[in-house]
Structures are given as C-alpha cells and as structure tokens.
Chain A
Amino acid sequence: MSTETINKEILRGGQFLVKETPCEDIFTPEDFSEEQKMMKESVKEFVDREIWPHKERFEAKDYKLTEEVMRKAGELGLLGIAVPEKYDGLGMGFVTTMLVCDYISGATGSIATAFGAHTGIGTMPITLYGTEEQRQKYVPKLATGEWFGAYCLTEPGAGSDANSGKTKAVLSDDGKYYSLSGQKMWISNAGFCDVMIVFARIEDDKNITGFIVENDPENGISMGEEEKKLGIHSSSTRQVFFNETKVPVENMLAGRGEGFKIAMNALNVGRIKLAAACLDAQRRVIWKATEYANDRVQFKTPIAKFGAIKSKLAEMATNVFVGESASYRAAKNIEDRISIRESQGNSHQEAELKGVEEYAIECSILKVAVSEDIQNCSDEGIQIFGGMGFSADTPMEAAWRDARISRIYEGTNEINRMLAVGMLVKKAMKGHVDLLNPAQEVAKELMGIPSFDTPDFSETLSEEKAMVAKLKKVFLMVAGSAVQKFGPDLEQHQQLLLASADILIEIYMAESAILRAEKTSKNNGANAEYQVAMAKLYLYHAVDIVTQKAKEGIVSFAEGDEQKMMLVGLKRFTKYQNMPNVVALRNKIAEKVTAENTYPF
C-alpha cells in the first residue's frame, strides 16, 4: 500500500453521513489491479467449469458435490485468500477477499453459503482470536480445504438473541477440559465439517464463551437430519447436539465470556461478505434474463424491446451496479483502516478486528441492501421468463429461492437495520462521529429563510451530489430530533429506527453509485455515460424512499408546528431542480444491457 493513501485522511465508519467524500477517494471496481482482475477471471472460470454446469445436482440436494467443489476451491487457493501467509494462506487484502467472495457465490447459494460459513465464520474467528498454538494447529488445514469449518451459535431458543444460548460448558475437576452440553440449530456445513466454533456458557456468566471443537462422533457429538429447506438445497444445514463433549481448556477461544464479542465481530465481516456474495448472483440472473428477453418473441417482437421488460432490466442492472459501488467502496475503507492500524504497530489480527469493527455500520447497511437487491432481481428475473421462470428448468427459480436466506442469516435484516442506526447513535454519543453539530445546523436551516438562488448544476452529477447532501440533512433532521426526544428510549421505537435505517441505507448506496460514476466520468472510463444514468436512476428512487420514510418518522413523534416545519423542510430537502427523465434513463440502460446480451458494466 502506498504511503499516500495511508496519509490521506480516510473516512471513519459512519462519517459518510456528515462529510462530503471526493470521488477520487473512493475505490471502485474500475480500480482493480491486474492481479485482482486475474483472480476474478480465475474464480469465474472455476465457477463456469465446476459449479454452473451442475446446477441440477445442486438443486437435487447433492451435499457431496458441495463438499467436492469446496475441496477444489481449496486446491485453487480460494479458501485461504484472507488467511495470513504464515498459516498457509495468501494474505490478500480485504478488497481481494471480497472479490473472490463475490464471484464464487454467483452460481448457486449452496456454494455461497458453504464458502461463507467456512471462510468467514468458520475459519476467521480462529485467525483473529486464536492463540498462536490454536492458529498453527487449525488454520493451515482450514485455509487449504483439508478440513472444513462450521460455526455453532444459534440454538432453538437463541436466534436473534444470540447471547441467550443455553449450551453449557462445565470445567472438569482436574481443570483440564470443559464438558459441553447443549443443542445448536441451523448449522451450515455441519454435515461435513471437521472443526466447529461453538459458543457455550460457563456457569452463570453474563456472556457466552467460544470454543474450538473438533468434530468427533465418539466425543458426544451427534447431528440431526439435513433440514428440508426452501433454497440452498445442497448446503448442509443440521442441528448439532453436544452431550458432555470434552474440549481441552486450551481450545477456549479468547477469554472466558468473550464469546459474544467474537460472535458479533465475526458477523461484521460476515455481513459485508454476504453483500458481496449477493452480487454475482444478480449479474448471472441479469445475463440469463437478458438472453431470454432477446430470444423470446411475442407479438412478433423480442420481449426485450418492450418498455415493460426494459424497465425491469434497467432497474436490475442499476441495483447491482449500486451494490458493487457501495460494497467495494466500504471494502477498501476497511483495507485502508487495517493498513493504518498495522502501520501504527497493531498486530495483523488486532488491526483487522478494529478495521472491520470501525465500519460495522456500513457492513450492516450493505448486508440489508444487497440481500434485498438479489431478492428483487431474481423475482423480476422470473417475471421476464414468464411461465418458464416458474419452472425449475430455468435458473431463475433456484436463484429466487436461494436469495431468500440472505435476508435471514448473519443477523436478520430487521436486526441489521436497527443495528445500523443504533451503532451510529452510539458513535455520536461517544464522540466518534459528530452528528450533533450538523444536526443543529439543519435545525437552524429549518428556521431560516430558504435560499432562492438557482444553483449551477451544469457539471455532471452536480445536482445529484447536492441532492445526496440534502438527503443527509433529512436523516439528521429525523434521527436527530428522535434522539433528542427519546434519548436512550429510542431503542423502543422500532418502526422509527427502521424508517431511519432505510434513509441511511439509501444515502450510502446512492452516494456510492454517484461517486463511482463521477470518478469514471472524470477518468473518461468505459461506460461512463451509463454509469451516470444508473446513478441518476437509483437516486430518483432513493429520494422517494427517503421522503416516504421520513414522513412516517416525523409524524410518529412530532406534532403541530414542529411537525409542519419538519415536513416543509423535508419537501425542501427532497426537491429536484431538474427532474430526471427516468423513462429515458431506463431505456438507455436497458438498451445497452440488451445490446451486450449480459450485465456489461
């Protein structure tokens, strides 16, 4: 990494809301290095050769195939991307890790889940929290795919409330091992894992504790049947039962009572990687849907020529473009933050933990936004295929079913929405992000007389950037007043939190797309005009969503003159000077997509 980027003041987590980011400061998919591009091509080749042609077997619950593909992924080095070289990994940065996760996950959710569970929550807790001995013993085997990992947090009574698990860990009389007993549920990779990260409670501790447990049926470990699931049919998901399973004391992960922290931090990484894992699935749906739309003739016309279908293809392409923009922007922020911490003397482990934790808000935003995008994308994919889309003979149906889980695991989207806002408020309270002053500025602006100047928006995307700045004011106005009104009780007002989260999400996603398009335009990059069109189209919807959610929020807690003033402010902050012609934008985007017969951006 160059010193130039280290020295540059990089945005802290959540700060995007109060600071303007110059487009040169964000990393975009156009900035991949030659090496990253080559890795991407390799992963695509792997998927096209080993996964995509076997779609039918994956849908027919061929769990062995998942294991086989995972082993081959290990041979190719894909399981060790994020693992330091010292433990037989490749020690690549966060952006490359995201890139691999993105492209390995596109063909089937079964592999996306197996890969995510193994590399993310299965391996990473040991790399990040393990002792040197634990790392030496387990990580190289996991990085090469000789062994597979699973992560056992959820229990029948402990889902979203992850710290409430009942699994017990009892220290033996001789103090040499813990005896684990309890029931874990929904454990991905359970059917073929060699090692598990298991969370259990010691005595009546407030917080759970993590353990590394080798999968040995002789040691009181048994598995339930494979769950019958809506999607990800070849991802192994089972209950795991521990009956006085002996775990040597040296297999405790971090300290006693540290489990909840491990679980939460593992999930931060898991969340942003899950966002990446929902990207290529969208590109593939668009590719197949576009091919179909170009081929399918009704009323003597390829359906791709109908406005109804163009509108779908344009929206689908736009959403994945936006998802990419935001995911890789955040990924590079994390990578840079890790480098800064390392240069300040943190160990790699510590740096990585803090680096990701810093952007926990962005991780939650991305998880929610991109998991919902793949759902919509595959849904419209089915619609483009008409009756054929409903058939298991076309890839749309499986894509749609596979997409569904992403809104549930790694923290449900409800939990992540509330977390995003909750974490931001906490950061503000702690003084890490100054929301108070900007919120007061907005309050002042509300009282003042609006400017009647007509700004000069001739520069590309300048009006859009101004609009994003105004949307940020909407968030500060709504969330700022809500915090003032409710203080710590804000947590109880979930619908308000959810509405604020939606505003926050739209701001981050729209801004990322606009900055990427602006950067591409300034560099005269390929497809700049289409990127600009997509950024504009996305923002148009974002403004609508923000308007609706803000209204909902304002009316829920403000009355009389205060309400009136805020609603007037909202109108001002969501007003376009030049309304975009979204029909023309969609046509332009869709015509490019259909001409290239794939997602071309």
Chain B
Amino acid sequence: MKILVCISHVPDTTSKINFTDGDTKFDTNGVQFVINPNDEFGLTRAMWFKEKQGASVHVVNVGGPETEPTLRKALAIGADEAIRVNTPATDGYSVAKQLANVVKEGGYDLVIGGRESIDYNGGMVPGMVAKMLDANFVNTCINLEVEGDSATAIREIDGGKETIKTKLPLVVGGQKGLVEESDLRIPNMRGIMQARSKPLHVKEPVDANAETNTNSFEKPAPKGDVKLVDSVDELVNLLHNEAKVI
C-alpha cells in the first residue's frame, strides 16, 4: 500500500499572532512552526500501517522552502520520502489541485490529510482532493483499518460515531482518534540523522489559480477589565448602558 500524508506547516498554538501590511499578511516573524496536529495524528497512523502492514509512506507539503524543516521532521518520525510542491499555499482550492496532481503522479492508494489545519481552519482540502481524484472520502476520521483494497473507517458525527466500509483509493480527513496523543512520536536522534539522507523532492507546481483571496485579517477585540459590581441595579445599568446587551 502506498500512503501519502499531507502535512501542513502551521504556527504553534502558543505563538503570538500578528499581521502586517495593513492586516493583510500574517507576520511569521518569531513564529515557531510545527506539523499541523491533525496531520500528525494521520502521520502516526500511517507509521502504524508501515510497521504492521509494510506500507510505504510519503509526505507532501505545498509551500516554500521555509516549510522543509517540517517535512524533515516527518521524515525523522519515519516517513520514507517527502515531496514539497514549490508554491505558496494560497487557498484551499489551489492547494488541493497541487495535491491531487501529486497523488495522480505517485499512484497512491491512501491519502491522509487533516480534518483541518489549525492556521486558517479551512477544512476543505481533503474533500476537494477526493473530488478531483474521484476517490472515496471519509472526513473527521477517528479510526482507520485497511485490508487489501477495502477500508473500514469510523468517523465522528454529531453526538455519535459512524462506521463506514469503503474501497481504496481513499482520501481521509483525519483527527485525534486515528491515534491518541500519547501515541505521537518524538523523532529519535537516529531518525533525525537518517532524515538527512532520505529524499526530499521539490516539485514545480501545476497551474492552479487561487479561487479565493484574503482581503484582511482581524484579531478578536482584547478582553476588557473585569468589573466587580456591588448591586443588581448597577449590573443591569451597566449591561444596558455600557455593554448594550439588554
């Protein structure tokens, strides 16, 4: 089985988020980047397929050279090869188009992406990739087994779970549950050294125009000071006249 894991290069959740150029650009200055957590669950599950079922695991990212450390980390964790499609990740559609092309050329049986990336939380890429490839698709996937060319996936649905039987080729939007947090792997020193000699292919992009464009970003308003009020009357007064919510 050939598995492709899509890896987003995203800011660590503890990073301070700022924007530049009149709030139109994300300021990457001083920001620590990591493997998108949903993708890391997928990658760890893929490692399981590699170790138990002899699958080969490739990882892919659409982005500039600055994302390579993130791909190297995936290699250090155990992926066999990495591909970087050399174009900035502008919107879901263009990224999906690049990914679909990689899948077509590489002939993968299983594509694991994250349910969403934690930077822009678009949550559309895996679905679009599946559509472009005319492959089966399971989103919010919390468990995945593969036997030959059939797969059993469990997905999270509102208030419960749904078990799905389907066929490869399959695209999965994964999340926690594929593996648990305690299963996530810290790249070991030997893995890091081996990552140095594993292939990291840089692929030129295919034509794909972004279909959407970010005009500006806005941060949530900073929290105001807490006010302690002594009486119900004063509370009502403040809610009515100051907060204007009643």
**Measuring CB to CB, which residues of chain A are less than 8 angstroms from any residue of chain B?**
34-35, 37-39, 41-42, 45-46, 49, 75-78, 80-81, 90, 92, 100, 526, 596, 600
Q: Which residue of B lies closest to A50 (CB)?
A: B186
Say which residue of A34, A46, A90, A100 sits within 8 Å of B72 (CB atoms). A34
Interface string of B188-202 (1 = CB under 8 A from A): 111011011000000
B76 interface residue per 8 A CB criterion: yes
Q: Do residues B188 and A75 form an inter-chain contact, with CB atoms below 8 A?
A: yes
Per-residue A-contact encoding for B77-106, CB less than 8 Å = 1, 0 else: 000000000000000000000000000000
A39-B192, A90-B193, A526-B30 in contact; A34/B186 too (CB < 8 A)? no
Residues of A within 8 A of B72 (CB): 34, 38
Assuming A38-B187, A75-B188, A76-B186, what are 4 further A-B pairs, CB within 8 angstroms? A35-B195, A38-B72, A46-B186, A81-B189
Closest beta carbon of chain B to A581's beta carbon, Å: 26
* Known interface pairs A90-B193, A526-B30; A38-B73 also in contact (CB < 8 Å): yes
Residues in B whose Cβ lies below 8 Å from that of A41: 73
Contacting residue for B192 out of A42, A80, A526, A600, CB 8 A = A42
Of A45, A77, A80, most B-chain CB atoms within 10 Å: A77
| CA gap between A76 and B193 in the complex, in Å | 12
- Give the residue name and chain of the A residue nearest to B77 (CB): A42
| Contact for B69 among A38, A49, A76, A80, CB less than 8 A | A38
Q: Please report B residues at the A interface, Cβ cutoff 8 Å.
A: 16, 29-30, 68-69, 72-73, 76, 186-190, 192-193, 195-196
- Chain A, Cβ-Cβ closest to B76: A38
CA distance A596 to B69 in the complex (A): 23
Show 15 A/B contacts (Cβ-Cβ < 8 Å), sorted by A: A35-B192, A35-B193, A38-B69, A38-B73, A38-B195, A39-B192, A41-B73, A42-B186, A42-B192, A46-B186, A77-B188, A90-B193, A100-B189, A526-B29, A596-B16
Q: Could you tell me if B69 and A34 are in contact, using CB atoms closer than 8 angstroms?
A: yes
Q: With the chains together, A78 CA to B69 CA distance in Å? A: 21
A530 CB to closest chain B CB, in angstroms?
A: 12
Tell me if B69 and A42 are in contact (CB < 8 A). Answer: no
Query: With A and B bound together, what is the CA distance between A311 and B141 in angstroms?
Result: 51
Residue of B nearest to A75 (CB): B188
For the complex, give the distance between the alpha carbons of A431 and B173 in Å: 69
B30 touches A42 (CB 8 A): no
- Expressed in whole angstroms, the minimum distance between the Cβ of A144 and any Cβ of chain B is 11
B187 — which chain A residues lie within 8 A by C-beta?
Answer: 38, 42
Closest A residue, CB atoms, query B68: A34
User: What is the distance, in angstroms, from A1's C-beta to the closest C-beta of chain B?
Assistant: 15
Given that A34-B69, A526-B30 are contacting pairs, would A39 and B186 also be in contact in the complex, using a CB cutoff of 8 Å? no
Query: What distance in Å separates the Cβ of A140 from its nearest Cβ neighbour in chain B?
Result: 14
CB nearest to B73 among chain A residues: A38
CA distance A50 to B30 in the complex (A): 27
Are the C-beta atoms of A76 and B188 separated by less than 8 Å?
Answer: yes
With a cutoff of 8 Å between Cβ atoms, the chain A residues found around residue B73 in the complex are: 38, 41
CB-CB < 8 A to B190: which residues of A? 77, 90
Q: Which residue of B lies closest to A598 (CB)?
A: B14
- Give the complex CA separation of A41 and B72 in angstroms: 13
How far is it, in angstroms, between the C-alpha of A81 and the C-alpha of B192 when the chains are bound? 12
* Complex alpha-carbon distance, A34 and B72, angstroms: 9
Complex Cα spacing A600 to B30, Å: 9
**B193 to A, closest residue via Cβ:** A90
A90-B186 contact in complex given A34-B69, A38-B73, A38-B76, C-beta closer than 8 Å: no
> What are the residues of chain B within 8 A of A90 when measuring CB–CB?
189-190, 193
Residues of A within 8 A of B69 (CB): 34, 37-38
Contacts of A75 in B (CB 8 A): 188
Nearest CB of A to B232, in Å? 25
Q: For the complex formed, measure the closest distance between the CB of B241 and the CB atoms of chain A, giving whole angstroms.
A: 24
In Å, the complex CA distance between A396 and B63 comes to: 42
Contact: B189 with A39, CB < 8 Å? yes
Contacts of A600 in B (CB 8 A): 30
* Chain A nearest Cβ from B114, distance in angstroms: 19
**Measured CA separation A38–B189 after assembly (Å):** 9
Q: When A and B form their complex, which 4 residue pairs have the shortest distance between CB atoms, in order from nearest?
A: A77-B189, A76-B188, A45-B186, A77-B188
Nearest opposing residue in chain A for B29, CB measure: A526
Residue from the set B69, B186, B189, B192 with the largest chain A CB neighbour count within 10 Å: B189
Query: When chains A and B are docked, how far (Å) is the Cα of A45 from the Cα of B16?
Result: 20
Residue numbers in B under 8 Å from A34 (CB-CB): 68-69, 72
| CB within 8 Å for A42 and B188 given contacts A34-B72, A526-B30 | yes
Q: Which residue of B lies closest to A88 (CB)?
A: B190
**Cα–Cα, bound, A49→B193 (Å):** 22
Measured between alpha carbons, how far is A37 from B33 in the docked complex, in Å? 12
Chain B residue, CB-CB nearest to A49: B186
Interface-centre pick from A38, A76, A596 (highest chain B CB count, 10 A)? A38
| Chain A min CB distance to B226 (Å) | 11
Q: Which of B72, B188, B195 is most buried by chain A, counting CB atoms within 10 A of its CB?
A: B188
Give the shortest distance, in Å, between A455 (CB) and chain B (any CB). 36
Q: Which residues of B contact A100 (CB under 8 A)?
A: 189
Min CB distance B44 to A, Å, is 14
Chain A nearest CB from B102 CB (Å) reads: 23
- Residues of chain B lying within 8 A (CB to CB) of residue A49: 186
What residue of chain A has the Cβ atom nearest to residue B196's Cβ? A35
A153 to B189, CA, bound (A): 31
Within the complex, what minimum Cβ distance (angstroms) separates B182 from chain A?
A: 9
Bound CA–CA A92/B196 (angstroms) = 14
A477–B187 Cα gap in the complex (Å)? 52
Q: How many angstroms from the CA of A49 to the CA of B183 in the assembled complex?
A: 12
The residues of B that contact A37 with a CB separation of less than 8 Å are: 69
**Least CB separation from B186: chain A residue:** A45
With the chains together, A41 CA to B192 CA distance in Å? 11
Give the residues in chain B near A78, CB-CB below 8 Å. 189
A41 to B191, CA, bound (A): 13
Minimum C-beta distance from A41 to chain B (A): 8
Output the nearest chain B residue to A37 by Cβ-Cβ distance: B69
| Least CB distance, A517 to chain B, in whole angstroms | 18
Task: Pick from B16, B29, B189: contact of A76, CB below 8 A.
Answer: B189
Nearest chain A residue, comparing its CB with the CB of B191 = A77
Q: Which residue of A lies closest to B16 (CB)?
A: A596
Across the interface, name the chain B residue whose C-beta is closest to A72.
B186
Among A42, A45, A526, A596, which residue has its beta carbon within 8 angstroms of that of B189?
Answer: A42
Output the least CB separation between B187 and chain A (Å). Answer: 5
Contacts of B186 in A (CB 8 A): 42, 45-46, 49, 76
Provide the bound-state CA to CA distance between A42 and B34, in Å. Answer: 12
Q: Give Cα distance in the complex from A529 to B195, angstroms.
A: 35
Which residues on A sit within 8 Å (CB–CB) of B29? Answer: 526
Alpha-carbon gap, A38 to B32, bound state (A): 12
Which of B16, B29, B68, B190 counts the most chain A CB atoms within 10 A? Answer: B190
Q: In the complex, what distance in Å separates the CA atom of A54 from the CA atom of B69?
A: 30
Distance in angstroms between the alpha carbons of A49 and B30 in the assembled complex: 24
